[in-house]
Structure 1
Amino acid sequence: MTASALFHTCYQDLLNGPLSHWLNTLPQQMDSWYRDDLHGEFKKWQRLLGKLPQVPPGNIDLRESVTVGDASSTDPYTQKQIEGLLRQFMPWRKGPYFIHGVHIDTEWRSDWKWERLKSHIEPLKGKQVLDVGCGSGYHLWRMYGEEAAGVYGIDPTQLFFIQFMAVKHFLGEAPVHFLPLGIEQMQPLKAFDTVFSMGVLYHRKDPMEFLNQLKSQLVKGGQLVLETLIVDGDEQTVLMAGERYAQMRNVWFLPSTSALIVWLKRLGFSDCKVVDESVTSTAEQRTTSWMESHSLQDFLDPDDHTKTIEGYPAPKRAVIIATKN
């Protein structure tokens, strides 16, 4: 398979829609990625994808979950085959998914995050949507379930791309696409009605540059949906973590919501609103049989769950929406 074949339907959707100018750079980037960046595991994963059985999708629910078929839509042997192959793509971090009776019980209950934000954002029906740092693509399917016209996710992690392709195998053709890119590789398209970024900002050494990169993907008047780790405080409060935060090495800046709104306004956003603040619980992020390594419970102070193991405030997340001027 070539990159052109792998991304053919994506290119066709771009060609026929308002994002056609993305084709000025994207095919060359995907050719380079496919030629130069793939490691041995990816080729093995591709072979495993090819072994996934062809099963009619049956009933599909993307409004309340990401579900295709149920336990009665295939025979027990095929169901075991599906589960066995999907387990080859562990760890599964974002979900959950329900595939012909197989429950992929992911580390994160990403459906809870979606429920917290979906009533606050502008309707996605008929819109072009980008999710920056989309993980395995769980929220891409929920966006499509809200009748978005075109849904695009970017994330450089190869395993997440494979997990997305495995789910898409069962859901079938849809204008929902995953591109293995980082935001820094994106040309400023200025073409998306809504840009999501959930769980990425605190991983960036330069949060202002990152917010500007998100802004450069939006049409004028488009909406940014930003979800990130925060700390309590005023407009001046920003925590810069040490070597680790909740055992994560790549955490940089955790602002208060007030500080974050100052940042967004300085960068040219308006109508900035905090629509949710939630302390992350060990029920929302936890070890499962589909993600067997350490999770949030192991990253908190065992004697005081209001603190991380390093002594910082325990993970608290906010959702902020803002409009590009």
Structure 2
Amino acid sequence: MTTFDWQRCFSPLFDDLDSRGLEHWRHLLQQQLHRRFDENPHGDIARWLEALNTLPDIPDAEADLNRSAITLTARQPLSATTASQLEEGLRGLMPWRKGPFDFFGTYIDTEWRSDWKWDRVSPYLSDLSGRQILDVGCGSGYHCWRMLGEGAGRVVGIDPGLLFLFQFLSVKRYVGAEYRVDLLPVRMEDLPAKLEAFDTTFSMGVLYHRRSPLDHLLELKDTLRPGGELVLETLIADGPEGYSLMPEDRYGRMRNVWFLPSCDTLLRWLDRTGFRNARVVDVTETTIEEQRSTDWMRFQSLQDFLDPDDPGKTIEGYPGPTRATVIADKP
């Protein structure tokens, strides 16, 4: 198969949107996905589909979504041939950036220890049981699975990176459609205005990539129902209220970094955009133990983006990456 059957892949989600009175979003999504996969398909889709289809059938697979690694297990040990075929398919979906994952004993040591972020954030979340959740900039969907493991009723992740979608589908291949979680390859601005469909919206590692951070906060607010909760994680800089670092060009060799606010500035932004009860729940420096090159992500990583003579600074001379997590409520 060299074409992606997106209609079949997302059919359960389309039915769910219709049942919730969100037919307008379903119609819009179908148009967007048609353009993405049928009219202007990515040149690597055939290769990624081949890798996905290389993954062997493993009956009666089970998933543990509450471990550090999203863990898939089988009732019987895999044969050497099956294990080799499994690894071949998974390596065809490299690089793996967000995780980790454990596929029947094949451990994918991803660039990011995304479980560390989850462990920092999860103690401060409202009970996710039964909640409708949106994860903006979800990568390969690692945190989506963790949210589902906490009892979420439905999780929708969005990220325009198509490789992330096929990595996500490599997990879903084994756990089945009964798991109410989907990853849509769309951007934040592709969502309908005033959607107001989610109880909790996560935006982790996105805000500093936006030219207009206040517009991003307003977009996030529009995804939430009244009384909904925003979980926001972003790079920050030390400074008083009103201070925000804007790199001259790159930050940590990333081109698309625009604003790194102080924590007090970030709280002011949330207040000005209509959120209430905003509170900083965590501030953590990003280390080369949390983000690094691995056998599953062999490109440069954080160590290469820091000043070799002063690892407390980026290679451009800015303060090294520190991330804050803020939780706020929509009135």
TM-score band, normalised by the shorter chain?
A: over 0.9
| Deviation, structure 1 residue 201 | 0.6
What residue is the counterpart of 2:63 in the other structure?
A: 60
CA-atom RMSD in angstroms: 1.5
Name the SS for the 2:44 alignment partner.
helix
Segments of 5+ residues of structure 2 without an aligned counterpart are none
What is the rounded CA distance, in whole Å, between the counterparts of 1:301 and 1:277 in structure 2?
22
Indicate if the aligned counterparts of 1:72 and 1:101 stay in contact, CA closer than 8 A: no
Indicate if the aligned counterparts of 2:59 and 2:74 stay in contact, CA closer than 8 A: no
2:173 to 169, 172, 181: 169
Deviation string for 1:24-75 (max 9, x for gaps)? Answer: 4222221222223322211221132122111125442101231011695322
| Deviation, structure 1 residue 243 | 1.4
Indicate if the aligned counterparts of 1:99 and 1:170 stay in contact, CA closer than 8 A: no
What is the rounded CA distance, in whole Å, between the counterparts of 1:24 and 1:40 in structure 2?
26
What is the rounded CA distance, in whole Å, between the counterparts of 1:43 and 1:316 in structure 2?
38
Q: Which amino acid aligns with 2:298?
A: E
Judged with a 3 Å threshold, the aligned counterparts in structure 2 of structure 1 residues 71 and 205 are, in CA distance, closer, same or farther, namely farther
What is the rounded CA distance, in whole Å, between the counterparts of 2:282 and 2:8 in structure 1?
41
Matched-pair identity in %: 50
Q: How do 1:261-300 residues align onto structure 2 when only pairs under 5 Å count?
A: 261-300=267-306
Matched, 1:218 2:224: yes
| Deviation, structure 1 residue 15 | 2.5
1:131 to 116, 130, 135: 135
What is the rounded CA distance, in whole Å, between the counterparts of 2:52 and 2:325 in structure 1?
35
1:180 to 171, 185, 188: 185
| Deviation, structure 1 residue 19 | 4.4
Indicate if the aligned counterparts of 1:127 and 1:193 stay in contact, CA closer than 8 A: yes
Segments of 5+ residues of structure 1 without an aligned counterpart are none
Indicate if the aligned counterparts of 1:72 and 1:100 stay in contact, CA closer than 8 A: no
Indicate if the aligned counterparts of 2:153 and 2:180 stay in contact, CA closer than 8 A: yes
Deviates more, 1:29-38 or 1:84-93: 29-38
What is the rounded CA distance, in whole Å, between the counterparts of 1:31 and 1:299 in structure 2?
38
Indicate if the aligned counterparts of 2:61 and 2:174 stay in contact, CA closer than 8 A: no
Judged with a 3 Å threshold, the aligned counterparts in structure 2 of structure 1 residues 251 and 73 are, in CA distance, closer, same or farther, namely same
Name the SS for the 1:196 alignment partner.
strand
Q: Which amino acid aligns with 1:178?
A: L
TM-score (norm 1): 0.96
Name the SS for the 1:130 alignment partner.
strand
What residue is the counterpart of 2:40 in the other structure?
A: 37
Task: Report the count of equivalent residues.
Answer: 325
1:76 to 80, 83, 91: 80
1:28 to 24, 31, 36: 31
